[in-house]
A and B are shown apart, each in its own frame.
Chain A
Amino acid sequence: MNNIVGMFRKSRNVLESGGITPEVEEKIRCPICKAIDTKRSVAKNKMVCPVCGHHYRISARTRIKTVCDKGSFQEIPMHLQTENPLHFPGYANKIESARLASGQEEGVICGTATIRQQPCAIFVMDPQFMMGSMGSVVGEKITRLFEYATEHDLPVVGFTASGGARMQEGVLSLMQMAKTSGAVHFHSQKGGLYITVLTDPTTGGVTASFAMLGDIILSEPNALIGFAGRRVIEQTTKKKLPDDFQRAEFLQDCGFVDAIVSRTELRATLERLLKQHRKGAGV
């Protein structure tokens, strides 16, 4: 947990470095319940508001730290670089600023890890990289992860966060939906377990492909999950939608989410499920 705390610390405070006046600790105000807390204590709680349980959006790297056993995550190097196949105006700049903003090369991180000693292959989408949109590289990385997991007989735990297929790569982005769904299929055919954890937001082409294909589909509380965007639906139907529309709880009521699990409980849930699906566990 120390690492997470570290990430939200700007610098060592004056007191620590031998100064006289203690620096005021950085505060964070929950956008839902407005409770004010120190960043440190929210981070300690895996970026979940200790008062109302609001789940902050977190980066893929932070997510990995909240889920995987310390030091267990091994990224699978794939050496893929995003191209601009349509010469889409402004795309190269968008990618560059997404890289700078997120510190990541692309919108998903793939690797292997253990979760309370249970080995798995894991992918984590990054909402901070062009809203986790799926272009060729994201599709290829997820596909390769499933192929790796199929070959090595590993379950896959996938965290989805995406605005959908990436418009700037046109139909090639769309085709990643078919490609990744195919990879899920062949992993499943070999008896592989796939658990998806839907996080805020999971929409569009990702919802209409691998996000909804888990053997078990978990979701973080209140995550936005849907196919079409709320605004598009309101424009099409000229009707105001209820506030809870497309929230995780709504999706569970409709029958599309197995369980809603708080980030603070997730490791225990994943451990249990992974254990129950270990090869030979049912024998």
Chain B
Amino acid sequence: MMTAYEKLLAARAQDRPTARAYIEGMFTERTELHGDRKYADDAAIIGGIGELDGKPVTFIGIERGRDLQERIRCNFGCPMPEGYRKALRLMKQAEKFHRPIVCFVDTSGAYCGEEAEERGQGQAIADNLMQMMGMETPIITIVIGEGGSGGALGLSVANRIYMLENAVYSVISPEGCASILWEDASKAADAAECLKITADDMKRFGVAEDVIIENFDAFDVMCEDLKKRLLSDIQEMERFSGKELSEQRYARFRKLGVYQEI
């Protein structure tokens, strides 16, 4: 059994497949689309149109980059506000043309920097949360690595969320949590345990529908299985109207949270 911290390290491992690998492994006839039409193109969020067994689908993914050069260009998978706005543009486009949306989440968090604040990182994520809730088309999110806080949530308002077995989801990085709690970032392993960040935790909380077994040695088989799962989900969801899908999505998030009624 791996500890939460070991899983976090596995999720961050540099040789782990990034969003682009899944997109290339599952979608054919791809056209990558760039830019938010407002400010810039953020390389940390990739997106476009592709086909799953002949069915057009919009794909969006947070990309960490595969080598150092790419990582620098992708800002190590930390999106800028224009990344979230680009994602939203592609989602709106998908909705218009009745295409399902598949999102791949893998980020330590939305970029923390001066320019990100000036261009409204908070507003960009907020807008995604609200607009995604209203989207009248199926949305499926797969957390393939790190689900870092609001930056991950900005692509997670989905009808179904899957977690890879070593993927994690957290409100704050365990390092950040440890430095707030114990003023010692090196206690991240303890914090990871306390924060309950594993895929199994997500399933237990109702944040994720299911956990997907990793099989990176046979990545093409894994992609094929994942594709089948997506297609059957999409088929199930397309029985509902767009409005129903939006309401189901809200109902899904509506029940998240733990409190006592007195």
Contact = CB atoms under 8 A, between A and B. Distances in A.
Q: Which of A88, A166, A178, A236 has the most CB of B within 10 A?
A: A178
Interface string B229-262: 0000000000000000000011001101111111
A236 B130 contact: no
B9 interface: no
B116 A228 contact: yes
A212 B114 contact: no
Nearest to A78: B261
Contact of B133 (A170, A171, A178, A205): A178
Interface stretch (B12-20, B43-51, B56-64, B189-197): B189-197
Interface in B199-241: 201-202, 205, 207
Interface size class of A (residues with CB under 8 A): 35 or more
A209 B149 CA distance: 12
B256 A175 contact: yes
Contacts of B195: 86, 167, 170-171
A170 B204 CA distance: 13
B133 A181 contact: yes
A176 B130 contact: no
Interface in A201-238: 204-205, 207-213, 226-228, 232-233, 236-237
B153 interface: yes
Interface size class of B (residues with CB under 8 A): 35 or more
A136 interface: yes
Interface of A is mostly: helix
Nearest to B255: A179
A188 B246 CA distance: 14
B164 interface: no
B202 A139 contact: no
Interface string B155-194: 0110000000000011110001100110000000000001
Given A175-B256, A208-B129, 10 more contacts: A79-B262, A165-B150, A174-B171, A176-B256, A178-B157, A185-B130, A209-B129, A211-B122, A227-B125, A228-B113
